[in-house]
Structure 1
Amino acid sequence: MDRGSEKQFTVGELARRGGVTVRTLQYYDSCGLLSPSEYTEGGRRLYGRKDVVRLQQILFLKSMGFSLEEIRDKVLPTESAEELAQAFEQQRKVFAEQIAHIEQTVAELDKLIEEVRLGNEVDIDRLLFMTRATRSGNPLSFLTRHFGKEQMANLSQRLTEDDAGEFRQSVQSFTDELIALYRRGTDPESAEGQRLASKWWELMMAMTGNDPSQIRNMSVSVVRESNWPPGSEDLKEATLTFLRHAILAYLKKNDIRLP
């Protein structure tokens, strides 16, 4: 159905073309999440281009596990071409991270398969940790290959199901800030750089249960570039240059001596 130069869809047409049900669109309308741009004289809903773009965002965010209440606050404006591009860039970033995570998971599974075929027993604590790490897309899961049995047991016990989500958000927030500071060319010894190093220390204490002796294995694993999974180039570069410098300055400034 066309009005002017813009193609419009009835609720049935949009449901069929968008892969949703009519009832879903009616519900989105009733709760104010997606209301049609126009109505016919007879009161039938008519959806235009901006409605289709909004529906696409809603379905994308829903696939990411957000509730409808959360989605209401996360849908981006798309009135201009730049706003529309930003909305798609946000989605592209998420999908790129998912691809990198899948590639990382495949690499981890390849290593487990190799260990099993060599007759090596895979410790149950490592299996439990990897179960949570692979499900949540933890970018640090490759570190576990270099943990001893006792370290894996301690880490698995600390990162329980209840706090896994909060920890994952903390790691994501930290990595986002790290990459942003690195791209801006921030001095690692500046106030911003040292605040980030302080956050790193807090994360390490959370992961190790306030046991600095375990940080060495993690550090050795991170410095070894071949350990980083595909798709993590930005994070790797920011870590091995900016963060490494910031951490060394932070440890020296706070007189922290690692074993």
Structure 2
Amino acid sequence: MHSEHEQLFTVGELARKCGVTVRTLQYYDKSGLLCPSGYSEGGRRLYSRRDIIRLQQILFLKSMGFSLEEISQKVLPADSAAELTQVFKNQKTILARQLAQIQQTIARLDKIMEEIQSGNEVGIEKLLMITRASRSDNPYFFLPRHMSKEQIEYFIQRFDEDGTSDFNKKLLEFSAKLIDLHGRNEKPEGAEGQQLAEMWWNLVMLKTKGDLSLIHDIGSVIINENNWPQDAADLKDATLTFLRKAVLTYLRKNNIKLPKNHGGIDK
């Protein structure tokens, strides 16, 4: 039911104003992702303010690389001012994280160009680093896609935007070392393996603010092989084999006991 004075848009009007095609909106309707709030007497689709907010979320999540199936599970209600504020707050956090990643990549490129202009040869390791950074400064960037709304909000409340850049930098260094140790067939129980496990533990403490119950939310996503993107096979293998063994040894040696209902990478 719409108020008498509520502005409604036809599918063509909404498509023009939001920069999408009519065919896209028709497809969203057919798939149940964005159904119009009503129809005209002539049977034309009519979209309301509520539909526009939903479309904005769909387009934002799509730009982040989510599939339509994933998007259907992540679109939040925005019927009140508080709910709409939360929608945009979440999007702001994601964009701020991306901005920090872009700025870090730009800084790396500037440094590489300075070395080139100085006549120094750029080593293969730096080229590989830049290649990895060009994709994402967070090698576990896929994790939020597989977390519930409550889990994401929980992390957002405990991890401010200012700390995201520093955390991603540490995580990138960690993942590079993890892949290197795994590739060299080092023992997870060895000195380097345990140093890596300690690094992981410190990152977990930083991310969770010491709340051990959050390890379940992170670990349960990581150990599910179906959650990993196809282009992260090296990190996936290193994480699910080498890191799990290294962490288990580290926890035992340091007598660290997690909540009984914990799960994940250290299980």
Q: C-alpha separation between the residues in 2 aligned to 1:82 and 1:170?
A: 26
Q: Aligned runs of 1:189-228 on 2, under 5 Å?
A: 205=178, 208-209=181-182, 210=188, 212-213=191-192
Q: Which residue of 2 aligns with 1:10?
A: 10
Instruction: Extract structure 1 runs of 4+ deviating beyond 3 A.
Output: 167-173, 176-183, 201-208, 210-217, 250-253
**Displacement of 1:11 after TM fit?**
0.8
Q: Compute the TM-score of the two structures, normalised by the length of structure 2.
A: 0.57
Q: Contact (CA 8 Å) 2:66, 2:145: kept in 1 or not? A: no
Structure 2 spans left out of the alignment, 5+ residues = 147-151, 161-173, 183-187, 212-248, 256-267
Mean Cα deviation higher: 4-13 or 205-214: 205-214
**Displacement of 1:126 after TM fit?**
2.7
Q: C-alpha separation between the residues in 1 aligned to 2:104 and 2:91?
A: 20
Please tell me whether residue 133 in structure 1 is matched to residue 133 in structure 2: yes
Q: Which residue of 1 aligns with 2:63?
A: 63
Structure 1 spans left out of the alignment, 5+ residues = 139-163, 184-200, 221-234, 244-249
Q: Which residue of 2 aligns with 1:72?
A: 72
Mean Cα deviation higher: 45-54 or 128-137: 128-137
Q: Contact (CA 8 Å) 1:62, 1:71: kept in 2 or not? A: yes
Q: Secondary structure at the match of 2:46?
A: strand
Q: Which residue of 2 aligns with 1:88?
A: 88
Q: Aligned runs of 1:218-257 on 2, under 5 Å?
A: 238=206, 254=253
**Displacement of 1:133 after TM fit?**
2.3
Q: Compute the TM-score of the two structures, normalised by the length of structure 1.
A: 0.59
The residue identity in structure 2 corresponding to 1:24 is: T
**Displacement of 1:102 after TM fit?**
1.4
Q: Which residue of 2 aligns with 1:198?
A: none
Q: Secondary structure at the match of 1:33?
A: coil
Q: Which residue of 1 aligns with 2:101?
A: 101
**Displacement of 1:5 after TM fit?**
2.4
Q: Secondary structure at the match of 1:46?
A: strand
Q: C-alpha separation between the residues in 2 aligned to 1:133 and 1:103?
A: 11
Q: Contact (CA 8 Å) 2:194, 2:250: kept in 1 or not? A: no
The residue identity in structure 1 corresponding to 2:41 is: E
Q: C-alpha separation between the residues in 1 aligned to 2:192 and 2:144?
A: 21
> RMSD in angstroms over aligned alpha carbons?
4.1
Q: What are the superposed Cα offsets for residues 139-187 of structure 1, whole Å, 9 maximum, x if unpaired?
A: xxxxxxxxxxxxxxxxxxxxxxxxx6xx4446999xx88886688xxxx
Q: Secondary structure at the match of 2:34?
A: coil
